[in-house]
Amino acid sequence: MYTGEILQSMKKVEAARDANLALEPRRMTAEEKDALLAAYHPDYKESEFETLKMGVSRGDKVPHELAALLQGKPRITAADVDLSRIDYDTDVLIIGGGGAGSSAAIEADNNGARCMIVTKLRIGDANTMMAEGGIQAADKPNDSPAVHYLDAFGGGHFAAKPELLYKLVNEAPDAIQWLNRLGVEFDKAPDGTMITTHGGGTSRKRMHAARDYTGAEIMRTLRDEVLNRGIPVIDYTAAVELILDENGRCAGAVLMNMETRELRVARAKTVILATGGAGRLHYQGFPTSNHYGATADGLILGYRAGAKLLYADTLQYHPTGAAYPDQIYGALVTEKVRSLGAKLVNAKGEVFMHPLETRDVSAASIIRECGDRGNGVKTPDGVGVWLDTPMIERIGGEGTILARIPAMHRMFAKYGIDIRVEPILVYPTLHYQNGGLDITPDGMTAVENLYAAGEVVGGIHGRNRLMGNSLLDVIVFGRNAGRTASEKAKSTEAGTLTLSHIDAFLKEREEAGIGDETVSPKLLPVYTHGNPAVPKKPF
């Protein structure tokens, strides 16, 4: 399927494959990594960020696109809603139906609470569903939660909140056991030993997987369990504003039907934000591996209600998004491809880095290779480097790709590319929101009775996240929030509902001189694929 220059470059990759297979590339030193990141990682591009002029994290640096929404115009005013008419009344309101929200619902249900999930698309339309490569847990004899801690802390540039990271690593094996007992089918040897591999920046092989459908397998199982328990799931319904009570505690949310735009009121004793990430904001013009609804809604809702941010200026660009063909431009090519032995190779057929550096370092290295060094392969949509997938079959034997990464094979096969015999072209894609809402170890934000779990949270991973620690995070902190929020619900009552924070926000907005009309939360992106005749109205 490849043509012209691409084909010529691919021949060089093929010619060098034997030599490249034998090569053990050097890992970069700490100094080399620091210099590389500062020069090439998108997070370090000052012009792409601005300082928040208002709100509880005033003075924090965030990307322009996020600033516009955090300081944006609320979709509703207090006058639009009759708070005396309660449509839904529950103990724990969970906003978001991905891995974290579903885990939270199951644990809240276990704790005897009434809970419900609202989600703007369907339960399972979430980044969890798309996580391919795996989930970390230190459960092998040569490993320990302490080693996992060190890997994650260092990989996150020593910025993680120790008390959150402690929870992540120490509860990881229990999370795997919990999932396994819910019926999640992890890859195992015949004797039951988990088949585990490395991820970028891991010092032990602790990546558990279910082929390369790991997140899908986890998500569909959690969804099934939520449905089995009869937990109400209100789909195609977005939260557009949180509701507080007279004491400033969170006490529910205003919901909007995505199809009819009807507004509804949900009252709750505690609320969990599990709304996920922000890839669909396309920071710095990057494509994204994220699902359709990843528009940072939870950050917006939480921020307007008074929840603080942490590290909202750090994003993760997955090193290997598909760079060709353009129909799947930006789609995730799982890190597991490199875990299984595929190396990154430039246009000249040279291995230019160790394939399992941390994601930020790998992404910056690919950007450098394609930029200043001029060693990228030109594609119709941009540029990329080779990921030499046929190496996997050479290392693991014929059949390894179909057995271990069938989704990757299928994704490219639809466009006539057989990754068993041909390498693929990749370039970084916007993948993960490292930062988010600041929480305590029990999952609560700066607003009483408002909890957060999953990608909407910041601080668990520091300033970069390792592969397999996000699936882990949604399970550990989703369950955690489900338990703590349902426990808190036993001793708290929603007071008099109010939306007065909207007026206060509008006033502060005016005082800060913010006049732009960006409406938030964004809820969905708008795509026209370059059709000039289609009006570009926001959703």
Partner 1 sequence: MENFVDVFLFGKCYSVPENLTIMGAMEYAGYQLVRGCGCRNGFCGACATIYRIKGDRELKVCLACQTKVENNMYVATLPFFPLIKEGFELEKVSPDVSVMMQLYPEIYACVGCNACTKSCTQGLNVMQYIAYAQRGDFAKCAEESFDCVMCGVCSSRCPAGISHPQVALLARRLNGRYLAPESAHLNERVQEIRDGKFEDLLSALMQKPVEEMKELYNNREIEA
- Catalytic machinery residues: 318, 338
Token pair for 244 = 């507080």
Residue 507 main-chain phi, psi, to 5 deg: -65, -45
SS3 per residue for 309-336: EECCCCEEEEEEEECCCHHHCCCECCCH
> Minimum distance from CB of 318 to partner 1 (Å)?
12
Please enumerate in sequence order all residues whose Cβ is within 8 A of that of 85, keeping only pairs 6 or more positions apart, or say none. Answer: 265
Tell me whether residue 305 or residue 401 sits nearer to partner 1 (CB atom): 401
Residue 139 main-chain phi, psi, to 5 deg: -120, 10
Burial of 486 (0-12, 13-18, 19+ CB in 10 A): buried
> Minimum distance from CB of 489 to partner 1 (Å)?
24
For 42, other C-beta atoms within 10 Å of its C-beta total 21
Angle (CA) 317 144 217, round 5°: 55
Tell me whether residue 225 or residue 503 sits nearer to partner 1 (CB atom): 225
Tell me whether residue 139 or residue 455 sits nearer to partner 1 (CB atom): 139
Residues in the chain: 539
Pairing, β 519-520 against β 73-74: parallel
Dihedral sign from CA coordinates of 220, 401, 363, 170: positive
- Residues 390-415 as b or e (16 or more Cβ within 10 Å = b): bbbbeeeeeebbeebbebbbebbeee
> Minimum distance from CB of 303 to partner 1 (Å)?
25
Taking the CA atoms of residue 74, residue 77, residue 83 and residue 85 in that order, the dihedral angle to the nearest 10 degrees is -100
Q: Which residue has the tokens 């693991």?
A: 396
Distance CA 45, CA 128 (A): 29
Token pair for 118 = 């609202």
Residue 191 main-chain phi, psi, to 5 deg: -90, 5
Q: Which residue has the tokens 């390792």?
A: 466
> Minimum distance from CB of 151 to partner 1 (Å)?
8
Token pair for 82 = 């009759």
Q: For residues 273 and 450, is the Cβ–Cβ distance under 8 A?
A: yes
Token pair for 272 = 């969990």
> Minimum distance from CB of 498 to partner 1 (Å)?
30
For 54, other C-beta atoms within 10 Å of its C-beta total 19
> Minimum distance from CB of 440 to partner 1 (Å)?
15
Tell me whether residue 178 or residue 352 sits nearer to partner 1 (CB atom): 178
> Minimum distance from CB of 528 to partner 1 (Å)?
6
Tell me whether residue 400 or residue 498 sits nearer to partner 1 (CB atom): 400
Distances (CA, A) of 94 to 181, 184, 324, 364: 23, 23, 38, 36
Q: For residues 46 and 474, is the Cβ–Cβ distance under 8 A?
A: no
Please enumerate in sequence order all residues whose Cβ is within 8 A of that of 401, keeping only pairs 6 or more positions apart, or say none. Answer: 389, 392, 393, 408, 409, 419, 420
Tell me whether residue 44 or residue 539 sits nearer to partner 1 (CB atom): 539
Distances (CA, A) of 127 to 107, 295, 440, 451: 21, 12, 24, 20
Tell me whether residue 224 or residue 448 sits nearer to partner 1 (CB atom): 224
Tell me whether residue 16 or residue 28 sits nearer to partner 1 (CB atom): 28
Tell me whether residue 397 or residue 535 sits nearer to partner 1 (CB atom): 535
For 193, other C-beta atoms within 10 Å of its C-beta total 10
> Minimum distance from CB of 327 to partner 1 (Å)?
5
Residue 220 main-chain phi, psi, to 5 deg: -70, -30
Tell me whether residue 127 or residue 389 sits nearer to partner 1 (CB atom): 127
What SS3 state is found at 360? helix
> Minimum distance from CB of 128 to partner 1 (Å)?
10
> Minimum distance from CB of 168 to partner 1 (Å)?
11
